[in-house]
Amino acid sequence: MAILPIYETPDPLLRQISKPVAEVTDEHRKLIADMFETMYDAPGIGLAAVQVGHPIRILVIDLQEPEEEGGEPVKDPRVFINPEILETSENDIPYTEGCLSVPEQFADVMRPDRVKARWLDEHGERHEEEIDGLLAVCLQHEMDHLEGVLFIDHLSKLKRDMVLKKLAKMRKQGRVAA
C-alpha cells in the first residue's frame, strides 16, 4: 500500500467528470487500498479516486466512529464503485463540511439528510441501501467529486471567495502545500 498525493483546488483534474468502472479488477482493489491508507494518513473520512489522480467512479468512506468516549475509533471502511443516488429526502440539513482537496477550510453545506443509493463494492457485488446521517452527507460530498464539484461550489459566491482567499493566504504563509 502507498500514500498517494492528494490533488488540491484549483487543480483542473478536480473538475473532471469521473468515468464509470466497467469491471472491478485487482488494479482497482490496489487503488482502493492505497486510497484508504491515504485517507487515514491525511486524516479524513472520505476520499474520491479523482482526488488522488484517478478520474474514475470510486470512492472510499470510513466515519471511524469512537467505540466509547476516549476509546480508539472503530474502523468501518466502505467502498462505493459507480455509486448512484436513487432517492433523496425532502429534509435538507446543514453540515459543516471540509475537504482534503480544500485543506483546513470548513463551511456549512445544506444536503438531504437521507438518501437511497446503489453501488458496487470492491468485489463487484451490487448494494442498494437507505443511508442517513453523517454517512449520507459524506456519500453526497464524495459523489460530488465524481461530477467535478467541490463542497465550496455549494456556497454563495461571497463565502466561496472568502474560503479561497483564506486558503491562498495559508499557502502563501507555507501553512499548507502550494
Q: What mean pLDDT comes out for the span 46-55?
A: 98
Radius of gyration of the chain (CA): 16
Contacts of 149 (CB under 8 A, 6+ apart): none
Residue 177 pLDDT > 80: no
Asked if 61 and 139 count as a contact pair (C-beta separation under 8 A), the reply is: yes
Asked if 9 and 100 count as a contact pair (C-beta separation under 8 A), the reply is: no
Q: Kindly list the domain boundaries of the chain, sorted by start residue.
A: 12-172
What integer pLDDT is reported at residue 175 of this predicted model?
A: 75
What integer pLDDT is reported at residue 68 of this predicted model?
A: 64
pTM of the full structure: 0.93
Amino acid in position 15: R
Question: Which residue's entry shows cell 464524495?
Answer: 142
Q: Indicate which residue of 8, 97, 122, 142 is catalytic.
A: 142
Residue 79 pLDDT > 90: yes
Architecture of domain 12-172: Alpha-Beta Complex (3.90)
What integer pLDDT is reported at residue 64 of this predicted model?
A: 85
Amino acid in position 130: E
Q: What are phi and psi of 60, to 5 degrees?
A: -125, 145
Percent of the chain residues past pLDDT 70, beyond the cut: 96
pLDDT tier for residue 174 given thresholds of 50, 70 and 90: confident
Which residues in 27-56 are b (16+ Cβ under 10 Å) and which e? ebeebbbbbbebbbeeebbbbbbbbbebbb
Residue 28 pLDDT > 90: yes
Cell digits of residue 175: 501553512
Q: What mean pLDDT comes out for the span 23-28?
A: 98
Active site (annotated) includes residue 104: no
